[in-house]
Structure 1
């Protein structure tokens, strides 16, 4: 089979690309290993909600039009919303079709090997858009297998609810968005929670009468190009600010959790002895809390300056004051002695492009590109955090990135306006 463009990945990024290609009459196919947007259903816990307001949910030709634009869709609502997107334009989507190999074709273009309902197939494409995201392989420490086998372990990608875990206390490792929210989920369920902190910052849910992310959007922060952000391309490695959309949205205050009985620790260092149950921690807990609060207050001050510069009437400013302060930083934890029966690893993912046989990756296996365009003609990436701006990894910024990539394809090849094929004809 031959096609002009193969889009790998049927999530919001791949579908957005397909929308523009369909609009422009470009022959293409969207290859999805599962079902459209299945990651939202398969990798989120039961009480998951978006942390961005619903009005941020905008894809090409499609946006949230429900009754609560300032609310936060649940996992199931997001799945339904994206499912509704597919129905609006009928992309040439092949579900349950996994791309197992991508290589360059002699003379230009690419060859993709796939496996799916019809068996193994070969697809030749002039252009390929890799829209599989950057969160492929769940990370766990290399020594996790040496932990006492009596302790149940799972990654945040497989966490669903407190009831799936054995009775007893739970250690959550990682304080990014997933770790902080899962720790809260367990805490609200009455479980004794121990939380190992990383270096994630935090942000207020609402400030001076509006959601902070609405303020930041008005201020143009989500339009900030990665090269112009402090630290430049290193911003792509930054951990997102923790906050929650649960129950209408609120702050996540780890100090308040500690005040109410959650046990906090610094960065997890390792296992004391193989087969044991004693973990060691760096003495970084106090510094991590202080740093997160400093970011929280810094963002609020940025909003204050914006309000003043624009002459906006708003409630008065405020500063977060700690509700709990630790006496010391704990550096050890005996899981058995603390009654901990489960560990939830929430320390992120690493990319896995081993099936891509094209030289566009750095020494850490991450794609190298400029706004999704690689050094190999015809190969593009989409849907990565900070692909181009702070908004690139959010619903709010996907359309602009997808339009840019689609315009690179149509602008350089003259494909715009050629007859489009449907999923039945490819």
Structure 2
């Protein structure tokens, strides 16, 4: 950062121009706080470039509530497709009209002179009193080290790079991971007539419709989306849990992996390793299916209690029952013998915050904060799951989170001016 001329200074610099960064800009503009937004790609990039062709929201459109910019369409109970999500983000960007520089990557943030934060970018060096990190936590696609031992004749692709069934070579496909991406890609392949194998992980599942109403509407009324992380039984550990799986495809429906097994999808336990063409699995298929169903049944029970307590007229539903049980749990399969020609890795991402040289991370590289405010003066995070509530990290909770951070920055800025 040694330059012959001084760095340009801003009271606030926002890193990331997605829905969280744009929302932060909007809240700062309302308070007349000068700032700039750096976006390394272009607005809407991750929705446009990092999702498969049939991708759609899992949460209904009515939950799209960016600051003063609710869902604009005529299908609030539907689920926006990928291109519609991009259009929604771009329309919000036009409303915000943020002071944004697209195509500018931030490569370093550190403490500098006079306690200011120094920011190195591909566009030059800057300083700021406050830096808001709005890059999300989906930086590096996770692929296990043992994937390198797979023969090259078997194609591998991460969910981030999966687009459609025709992208994969002819033959059967193994999808690894049963989070939201994994089960939706499994269904995408299954509906296309591909023979699918699925390594089932520990993700929970949720009903889509229950007792005459969309489940997220019930959960909203129950206050689930207002549950704060400090009141969650798991505390901060809730931030690392996998989301419930279901889908918004074709109007939305739940995903019961047992039913897919009846339709020919081959289920295994969690992926354990690869030895050449031999794929190895843990003996936890039955356990993972049962635990996912327990969460599913618990959500239904919570709704039942709410309906009874409030004397709501709602149609009754039959109790949940398992439609399929694994007769055995295969611990390995030979990919060549099974005809598996491709693997889709859907086991998530990990964040990459190596460019932030401030002591705010735990041993796993995750930032530590309270409502997005870190212990490093002037550094904030926004747009992450469970930043404060279950709604954080979704379109539903961004307005509240960014409003809180903007108010915090405004208060701290006023205190700094008074002290000066």
**TM-score class, shorter:** over 0.9
2:36 to 29, 33, 37: 29
1:16 aligns with 2:23: yes
Which residue of 2 is the match for residue 152 of structure 1?
155
User: If the length of structure 1 is used for normalisation, what is the TM-score?
Assistant: 0.94
CA RMSD in angstroms, aligned pairs only: 1.1
Which residue of 2 is the match for residue 75 of structure 1?
82
Which residue of 1 is the match for residue 12 of structure 2?
5
Which residue of 1 is the match for residue 409 of structure 2?
409
Which residue of 1 is the match for residue 323 of structure 2?
323
How far, CA to CA, are the matches of 1:395 and 1:406 in structure 2? Answer: 17
User: How far apart are 1:332 and its partner, in Å?
Assistant: 0.8
- State the structure with bigger RCO (CA 8 A, min sep 6), 1 or 2: 1
Further displaced range: 316-325 or 179-188: 316-325
User: How far apart are 1:179 and its partner, in Å?
Assistant: 0.3
Figure out how many residues of one structure are paired with residues of the other and give that number: 409
Which residue of 2 is the match for residue 198 of structure 1?
201
Aligned residue runs from structure 1 range 170-185, under 5 A = 170-185=173-188
Which residue of 2 is the match for residue 390 of structure 1?
390
Which residue of 2 is the match for residue 165 of structure 1?
168
| Residues 26 and 415, structure 1, Cα contact 8 Å, conserved in 2 | no
How far, CA to CA, are the matches of 1:172 and 1:4 in structure 2? Answer: 46
Which residue of 1 is the match for residue 223 of structure 2?
220
Which residue of 1 is the match for residue 4 of structure 2?
none
3-state SS of paired residue (2:95): helix
3-state SS of paired residue (1:271): strand
How far, CA to CA, are the matches of 1:189 and 1:322 in structure 2? Answer: 26
Aligned residue runs from structure 1 range 11-410, under 5 A = 11-115=18-122, 120-272=123-275, 276-410=276-410
How far, CA to CA, are the matches of 1:92 and 1:251 in structure 2? Answer: 41
| Residues 176 and 346, structure 1, Cα contact 8 Å, conserved in 2 | yes
3-state SS of paired residue (1:158): coil
How far, CA to CA, are the matches of 2:72 and 2:318 in structure 1? Answer: 33
Which residue of 2 is the match for residue 424 of structure 1?
none
User: How far apart are 1:146 and its partner, in Å?
Assistant: 1.2
User: How far apart are 1:415 and its partner, in Å?
Assistant: 9.3
3-state SS of paired residue (1:395): coil
* Moved beyond 3 Å, runs of 4+: none
| Residues 202 and 241, structure 1, Cα contact 8 Å, conserved in 2 | yes
How far, CA to CA, are the matches of 1:37 and 1:131 in structure 2? Answer: 13
User: How far apart are 1:317 and its partner, in Å?
Assistant: 3.5
For structure 1, which runs of at least 5 residues remain unmatched after alignment? 417-426
3-state SS of paired residue (1:80): helix
| Residues 409 and 415, structure 1, Cα contact 8 Å, conserved in 2 | no
User: How far apart are 1:307 and its partner, in Å?
Assistant: 1.0
Which residue of 2 is the match for residue 423 of structure 1?
none
How far, CA to CA, are the matches of 1:139 and 1:89 in structure 2? Answer: 34
User: If the length of structure 2 is used for normalisation, what is the TM-score?
Assistant: 0.96
3-state SS of paired residue (1:330): coil
